[in-house]
Homo-oligomer: A and B are copies of this chain.
Amino acid sequence: MRIFGDSISGNCLKVKWTADHLGLTYDWVETDVLKAATRTAEFLAMNPAGQVPAIILEGGRPLAQSNAIILYLAEGSALIPADAYERARMLEWMFWEQYSHEPYVAVARFQVRFQGKSVADLEPRIVERGKAALRRIEDGLAASSFLVGDHVSLADVALVAYTREAEDGGFRLADYPKVQAWIGRVEKALKII
């Protein structure tokens, strides 16, 4: 398997962490988004959406979208709950992540860290919705140590990727103590620090 990813991207790191956690063998192909490496004809032939991460499976079959990739890789593993309802709640967090978390928490971080914008100049909408997303995770951790029950799942993999970098976008994790503690637990469970 080949993983095309940019190491500065949380979406790409989700795939790396999942593959490493499962002990899968792969070649990492560093793909620099800032240098438009996802816009070459060769890359677009593999993923017409022009986004990383993307993987090439044995036999040459491509697959894109971070959360679709980790669901594929982790099928049958303990990262996906066996119970149908818990699995559905995991997917609820994963779709919510792409719609209501990444476009704010990750975009704020990208603009500040890689595009040189100051936190004060971020769009208010991005800041407000990013804070709401972090609050939602804080509330989601009220009764369990991980997002779906007391075992690490792909919901945690998907959400921790940009949440642990949220301060780069001007968010204060100290305002979300359960989130802070959860980040540490997920990092430990995935051995990512």
Q: Which of A106-145 contact B (CB under 8 A)?
A: 136, 139-140
A85-B57, A98-B98, A140-B48 are known contacts. Are A92 and B63 too (CB-CB below 8 A)? yes
Q: How far is the CB of A190 from chain B (nearest CB, A)?
A: 21
Bound Cα distance A27, B177 (Å): 39
Please, could you name 18 A-B residue pairs with CB atoms under 8 Å apart, sorted by A? A48-B139, A48-B140, A49-B96, A57-B85, A61-B85, A63-B88, A64-B96, A66-B95, A67-B91, A67-B95, A68-B95, A69-B88, A72-B87, A72-B91, A98-B98, A99-B99, A99-B102, A103-B103
Q: How far is the CB of A130 from chain B (nearest CB, A)?
A: 14
A65-B96, A67-B95, A98-B95 are known contacts. Are A72 and B84 too (CB-CB below 8 A)? yes
CB of A100 within 8 Å of the partner chain: yes
Contacts of A48 in B (CB 8 A): 136, 139-140
Bound Cα distance A99, B101 (Å): 11
Given contacts A68-B95, A72-B84, 19 further A-B contacts (CB under 8 A): A48-B139, A48-B140, A49-B96, A49-B136, A63-B85, A63-B89, A63-B92, A64-B92, A65-B91, A65-B92, A68-B88, A68-B89, A68-B91, A72-B91, A95-B95, A95-B98, A98-B99, A99-B99, A103-B103
Q: How far is the CB of A51 from chain B (nearest CB, A)?
A: 8
Q: How many copies does the complex hold?
A: 2
User: Which A residues contact B (CB, under 8 angstroms)?
Assistant: 48-49, 57, 61, 63-69, 71-72, 75, 84-85, 87-89, 91-92, 94-96, 98-100, 102-103, 136, 139-140
Contacts of A91 in B (CB 8 A): 65, 67-68, 71-72
Contacts of A49 in B (CB 8 A): 96, 100, 136
Whose C-beta in chain B lies nearest to the C-beta of A102? B99
